Structure 1
Amino acid sequence: QSYAAPSIQFFELSPGAAPLNLKPEIVNDIGIGTRYTTDKGFVGIDFYNDYINNMLNVSTVVLPNGVVNALPFQTGLVEMRGIEAEFKRDLPDNFSVDGNFSAVDAYFVNGATPGGGPNFTGDSLPFVPNMLGNLDVNYAGGNWHVTVNERYTGMMNVLNTGGGSTGSENLQTNSPGYWTTNLLVAYDLPKVSWYKSAQLFFNAFNLLNTNYYMPAALLTADKANPNLLMVYPGEPINVFGGVTMTF
């Protein structure tokens, strides 16, 4: 069991509203797992179940001037349960393969909104993908280190601060899952007297991204609100290169 004070920075409530009364988040967690290891690698699997009290969420309120304002509040109870698995296997000729996978069912057990607003009970938890997966093919021969990574991010709930579907104050909407590819290359430089080690590197993330710049909340006509905050858009291609040195 753990306790954590929720972090929030909110500058303006509706006129005349009382300050937010925030309570510590309480997390109760239980898990069990097993792992099998050999000289060539390992495989492991874990099962877990979490219950979270007082998690922050957001709803809307219409101000006297007609402006829709998003307000934070704390939900009663959230449950997260799932499975996590990982493996690694050494292959001939300096190759190896590894990966991990997780599936989670995260939802509001009690998502009632203060003041009789929208009820989130049974809705998926925002920003928690229902699946995550990584598969890596690695090469480490001589001075070269190369990893090709394929990543899957499953469907997740995101927040549409434009107001959600017509006639609803439920700000949650689904963003579909997507694949992306990452490339990591490094080369060990020869050792010399004035440094212990040095390595050239080149990393390229989010290649072949099937969700490239796809705004999460503009996927269907009923959510086509141009005033949205794009909480979880597609990820752009990022390229990094340089040298790391240890003296």
Structure 2
Amino acid sequence: FVQDQISLFGGKVHVTPGLKYLYAKTYDEDQIGFFYPITGAVFDSEHFVAPTLGINWRPIRHVSLYAAWGENMKFPNIGAYYGNIGQTNALGQYVVVPLNVKPEYVRDFEVGARYEAHGFEGSLNGYRENFTNTFISVTNPVTLVSTTTNGGRSTYMGIELDAQQTLHTADYGDFSIFGNVSLNKAYFSSSFNYFGTQVNPGMPLANVPRHLANLGVGWKRGSWRANINLHYASSQYLNQLTSGLASAVTIPGYAVTNLGIRDTLDLGMGMLKNVKIALHIDNVFNRHYDVTGFEYTTFTGMPYSSVLMEEPRAYFASATFDF
């Protein structure tokens, strides 16, 4: 990874070009067992040169305008290899099918504006991510083997508003109020067909909430730190397990509250400088909600949803020593 920062026009403009080289070699070898009727191996190697470019311009005091562009890739994970060992051919023989899934490529654009003054920080930005070779996990209706395949182009786009106000007090420490809200949309942007399933532009992608929001309060005084925040996610489509596409079934939106508090104790014991004692409480009000899931059908053809539920209220304590 190589990156540089170029300052222009007396520091009002900063240009940040970057270049990253990615390489991955994945190998899966399995023996005869419960899941595999034959011994076999599947492997692949991929590489990519990923460029990035960012520009930040401060036209007037307290205001910054920025834009960023970049390209990247995602390698197929190991799960994309599992279903290729032990498939059956037209003669009913077990075979190892060569891997045919390609990496997923993305081109990202982002533009926005920031304002900072008198303890206030705010930003408004929009983004668009164009994917090719979109990964889809599908189940072959003939062999009933699940595998990962490429599904044409898709697009993620949205806007986000972020704000934070810091208040300083002499007696009670510093308080900050922060929040953000975003509007997101994810959909297929090309037509393609696989296993008899037709996909058309505009069809939604699953597991992407249309609205996200966070609201919180932070506090610090001396060595103490504390924060409480509320996270909200709106409803989202579930994937259909067999087709790998978004079904008509959605899970409802949810809101969850988390709390954290921390203190740093100065030990002054030679090399041992201090210790940070922290307590975190997730899902403070023990809300029940569904995080994600998929739609499937019973052997009689009746649809049902299988969901992953939330973690109940959880407490985490930690001690971090600094030397």
Is the counterpart of residue 117 in structure 1 residue 197 in structure 2? yes
1:12 equivalent in structure 2 = 83
Query: Given that residues 36 and 44 in structure 1 are in contact (C-alpha distance below 8 angstroms), is that contact kept between their aligned partners in structure 2?
Result: yes
2:180 equivalent in structure 1 = 100
1:159-194 Cα shifts (integer Å, max 9, x gaps): 343x5xxxx885634222110000001122243223
Segments of structure 2 that go 5 or more residues without pairing to the other structure are 1-70, 90-94
1:186-217 Cα shifts (integer Å, max 9, x gaps): 12224322322212110011223544467745
One-letter identity of the residue aligned with 2:130: Y
Q: Which has the higher contact order (CA 8 A, sep 6+)?
A: 1
What does 1:15-54 align with in structure 2 at a 5 Å threshold?
Answer: 15-16=88-89, 18-54=97-133
TM-score between the two structures when normalised by the length of structure 2: 0.63
Question: How big is the alpha-carbon RMSD for the aligned residues of Structure 1 and Structure 2?
Answer: 2.8
Query: Given that residues 108 and 121 in structure 1 are in contact (C-alpha distance below 8 angstroms), is that contact kept between their aligned partners in structure 2?
Result: yes
Is the counterpart of residue 184 in structure 1 residue 264 in structure 2? no
Question: How far, CA to CA, are the matches of 1:213 and 1:170 in structure 2?
Answer: 19
Is the counterpart of residue 174 in structure 1 residue 235 in structure 2? no
Question: How far, CA to CA, are the matches of 1:82 and 1:47 in structure 2?
Answer: 6
Structure 1 counterpart SS, 2:275: strand
Query: How much has 1:119 moved relative to structure 2?
Result: 2.8
One-letter identity of the residue aligned with 1:182: N
Query: How much has 1:82 moved relative to structure 2?
Result: 0.5
Percent identity for Structure 1 against Structure 2:
25
Is the counterpart of residue 3 in structure 1 residue 73 in structure 2? yes
1:130-179 Cα shifts (integer Å, max 9, x gaps): 22221110111233211001001222233343x5xxxx885634222110
Structure 1 counterpart SS, 2:76: coil
Q: Which among 259, 270, 274 is matched to residue 197 of structure 1?
A: 274
Q: Which among 209, 216, 219 is matched to residue 139 of structure 1?
A: 219
TM-score between the two structures when normalised by the length of structure 1: 0.81
Per residue, is there more strand in 1 or in 2? 2
Q: Which among 166, 176, 180 is matched to residue 90 of structure 1?
A: 166
User: Which protein has the larger Cα radius of gyration, Structure 1 or Structure 2?
Assistant: 2
- Alignment: residue pair count: 233
Query: How much has 1:99 moved relative to structure 2?
Result: 1.9
Structure 1 counterpart SS, 2:206: coil
